[in-house]
Amino acid sequence: MTTARDTIVDALDIESFILCESEKEAKELIGKLMQSLGLPRFVIVSLDFNGPGAHFRVRAYMNKPGDNYTWLQ
Amino acid sequence: MMKILLAPLDPVHDAGLKLIKRKLEALGYPCVLLPPDITVEEIGEAAIAEKVDMIFVGRTVGYGVEQLFRRVRHVLTVQGVFDKVRVAIGGMAVTDELAKSLGFEAGYGPHTKIEEIHAMIEKNPELARHITHPVKNKPKFPFPHDNTVKNSTTKNLLDEIVDGILDWTADKSSPGVVRAHITESQLQDVKGSVESYTALPFTRDYLAQCDESVVDFFQKNICPPSVRQITQKEVDAYINRIDIAKRNFHPRVLRHGREKPLVFVQYGTGCPMMDGMHIKVAESWGADGVLHFDPAWGARTEGLMDGFLTNAEDGTPVTYANLSLIRRSLDAATLWTVRAHRGLNTPEIAVLSGFLGADMTKINIVYGSICGGTDPARLTVDGVDAIRTATRYNMPFDIPTNEELAGVPPHKAFAGMLIMAQLGRRLGAQPILKPLLCHGPYIMVNELMEQNYVDYNFAKIRALQALADFPIWPGEPIGFMTHTEEKEQSATTTALHAAMCSTLGVDAITTASTDEAFSRGPITADGRVGSLRAMEEAFRFFGETDVAPTKKADEWRDDIIAGINRTLEAVTEAPSFVDALYQGILGDKADGVYPGRAGKNSVVTAPKPKAVGRWDVTPAIVRKKPVLTVKAVTPGVLPARRRR
């Protein structure tokens, strides 16, 4: 059965602002966030820390070129 | 004409209803616009008093909109209006689905066109067909130009260099040229049929001109490490997906008031099916054309593989089947370019592209030789042959100058580009100049963009426009090395470069996705949407307004022109164009480039070309009839060709 997740062409990006005190802490929090969302394989695309926290975009690839794409199953 | 009542259910006037009133009156409809801050009851009373035929109720504020319109219907029904007068609604949170679920005739959200409302009033969908079912025709590209070099000094130097290139290559051939002619002969025999071509028995003549990895592919079915064959089941499912996308496709035009520039997107994710899906996304968000990028190893390997192949790394393998699958995915209005220019398969890729009806190809001997890793002598022979092929198949070819990314100064890169353009014209082809608008190493070191990104880019384009009248198509992509990994920044810099190109009057641009600077994973479809949307907004913002450079741009333009002519003069003083490439006159180690080695010592002496541009090489051996067609294959892949 096709799930909504199977229809993602390539990647799911999550963008938000996270409250933290350093870039290092931001990365740790993003890792925990992605784990909690069931997306343990992720890559941080961009991260900009300043003042209250970090503006970030994190990406979980669902289908990479060469894969057996979920949207063709 | 029907009389229409416009009723704003807002505390202040809804600009939308004022706009609708003006446009409906222009169409001849008498309208009554009620003041703001009225009650629902007053709408019905006004409708009765004014004896209107239709009511259009507007509500800008989205909060509680469903309850409010439910009440509108109730009150109008109680007043005896709803059953006698047609009622439609509109507003920020209104949809047609919501309106109809509440019993109204229609509902309109933001960005509704007056044609849609007109069609509803007249109950004639044809009045809005161009809005609801827009048609995008394939542009005639390149746009008209004289295709001449205007500066006499530059022209004389270019002509001398081109004479030398044609003399030097006249009696030379290469494995790439031989393969191209074998392939062309085979494709002519099967009239370009993908199934028949793929089922053809493979020839020893072809394999004799290939590297071991290609021979292994055909004889032992061994793919390169990151490559696998795509199954027929995958192809069928993919085509189904593409057909769904085509059914739901509504063309979009990014430009606002100007004919140029057309917008191209480069693809080459590694997989023709992922490429195809990205192409559908790009088309749907307004791209006018797409460019095929092959993997780097493909350029350094003698010979092409065959069948449907996917690559887990950057660059989609060029095979006739892969290209045909991508062509199958394109909208009829989409321009298609296949990169041939820089490697050992340049002539053969030009042949495949021509047979598949590609609109354009890409050939640059200079870039491929000093920056693409191919031996200058080899690529000069192959490049001339590929241009002849481009001419035969009526494919304009663009001439990229991405050697700037290595550090070659623009005047040297442009000198090489103009040599290619003049060579193309001499061979009857249509060249397209492709300067790179970038923040490249030469520009950084010389601090040419410390103050802004406008002046030096203006200088580059204005220099080319002053010297010659060829089509100009900045890429690939515009704004190279100005992008960061942040999506907003990346989209913005692409959009601003696009707006600048609009002022410069260039014919087309190639744009990045917002993943341009992101190197830890593949480009995403969403990233393509981000850049295209940003460009659309920039074109909307500037319209036909121009971006103005400072006086510095003129000074730099003159410097570039002088540098181009100095470089061309140096090329004429070299023993040959090929020697000039080896000597680094068009870019040397100090600039960050060096002559390529792939295909070194592979040039051979051969008969002169016939008048039509074909080499008189030994024809392909007589082949058996196709032994398999795609329909006969179960399950699986298009078969690799049979060996003999």
Chain A interface disruption, residue of B238, B277, B516, B529, most A CBs within 10 A? B277
Phi (first) and psi of residue B197, to 5 degrees = -65, -45
Q: Is A9–B484 a contact, with Cβ atoms under 8 angstroms apart? A: no
Whether B4-132 and B152-591 share one fold: the answer is: no
User: pLDDT by residue (tens digit) across B396-433?
Assistant: 999 999 999 999 999 999 999 999 999 999 999 999 99
Residue A67: its chain B contacts at CB < 8 A? Answer: 312
Residue B62 reports pLDDT greater than 50: yes
User: Quick check: B515 contacting A, CB < 8 Å?
Assistant: yes
Q: Which of B241, B487, B524 sits opposite A11 (nearest CB)?
A: B524
Q: Is A59–B521 a contact, with Cβ atoms under 8 angstroms apart? A: yes
- In this prediction, residue B620 carries a pLDDT of 37
- In this prediction, residue B63 carries a pLDDT of 80
Phi (first) and psi of residue A47, to 5 degrees = -150, 125
Q: pTM for this one?
A: 0.89
Q: Is A11–B520 a contact, with Cβ atoms under 8 angstroms apart? A: no
- In this prediction, residue A8 carries a pLDDT of 96
DSSP A5-73: GGG-SSEEEEEEEEE-SSHHHHHHHHHHHHHHTT--S-EEEEEEEETTEEEEEEEEES--TTS--GGG-
Closest CA relative to residue B437, chosen from B465, B463, B475, B483: B475
Residue B616 reports pLDDT greater than 70: no
- In this prediction, residue B15 carries a pLDDT of 82
User: pLDDT by residue (tens digit) across B242-287?
Assistant: 999 999 999 999 999 999 999 999 999 999 999 999 999 999 999 9
Residue B526: its chain A contacts at CB < 8 A? Answer: 10-11, 13
Q: Are B464 and B472 in contact (CB under 8 A)?
A: yes
Q: Are B515 and B473 in contact (CB under 8 A)?
A: no
Fold category of B152-591 in CATH: TIM Barrel (3.20.20)
For chain A, which domains are there? 4-64 (3.30.30)
DSSP for residue B522: -
Confidence category of residue B607, pLDDT binned at 50, 70, 90: low
Q: What is the 3-state secondary structure (H, E, C) of B157-202?
A: HHHHHHHHHHHHHCCEECHHHHHHHHHHHHHHHCCCCHHHHHHCCC
User: pLDDT by residue (tens digit) across B501-558?
Assistant: 999 999 999 999 999 999 999 999 999 999 999 999 999 999 999 999 999 999 999 9
Residue B380 reports pLDDT greater than 70: yes
Q: What is the 3-state secondary structure (H, E, C) of B280-334?
A: HHHHHCCCCEEEECCCHHHHCCCCCCCCCEEECCCCCCCCHHHHHHHHHHCCCCC
Confidence category of residue B205, pLDDT binned at 50, 70, 90: confident
CA B81, CA B78: separation in Å to the nearest integer?
A: 8
User: pLDDT by residue (tens digit) across B309-348?
Assistant: 999 988 999 999 999 999 999 999 999 999 987 899 999 9
**Residue holding tokens 């793929």?**
B198
Q: State the CATH architecture for B4-132.
A: 3-Layer(aba) Sandwich (3.40)
Q: Is A72–B234 a contact, with Cβ atoms under 8 angstroms apart? A: yes
**Lookup: tokens for B340:** 């041939």
Sequence letter at residue B338: V
Taking the domains of chain B in order of start, what are their residue ranges? 4-132, 152-591
User: Quick check: B277 contacting A, CB < 8 Å?
Assistant: yes
Residue B313: its chain A contacts at CB < 8 A? Answer: 65-66
CA B347, CA B352: separation in Å to the nearest integer?
A: 9
Residue B39 reports pLDDT greater than 60: yes
Residue B606 reports pLDDT greater than 90: no
Residue bearing the bigger pLDDT, B197 or B276? B276
- Average pLDDT (B493-503) is 98
- In this prediction, residue B10 carries a pLDDT of 82
Averaged confidence pLDDT in chain B: 91
Residue B203 reports pLDDT greater than 90: no
- In this prediction, residue B481 carries a pLDDT of 96
- In this prediction, residue B342 carries a pLDDT of 85
- In this prediction, residue B235 carries a pLDDT of 96
Q: Are B232 and B633 in contact (CB under 8 A)?
A: yes
**Residue holding tokens 């949809």?**
B95
CA B510, CA B437: separation in Å to the nearest integer?
A: 10
Shortest distance between the Cα of B369 and any Cα of chain A, in A, equals 29
Q: Is A10–B525 a contact, with Cβ atoms under 8 angstroms apart? A: yes
Sequence letter at residue B58: G
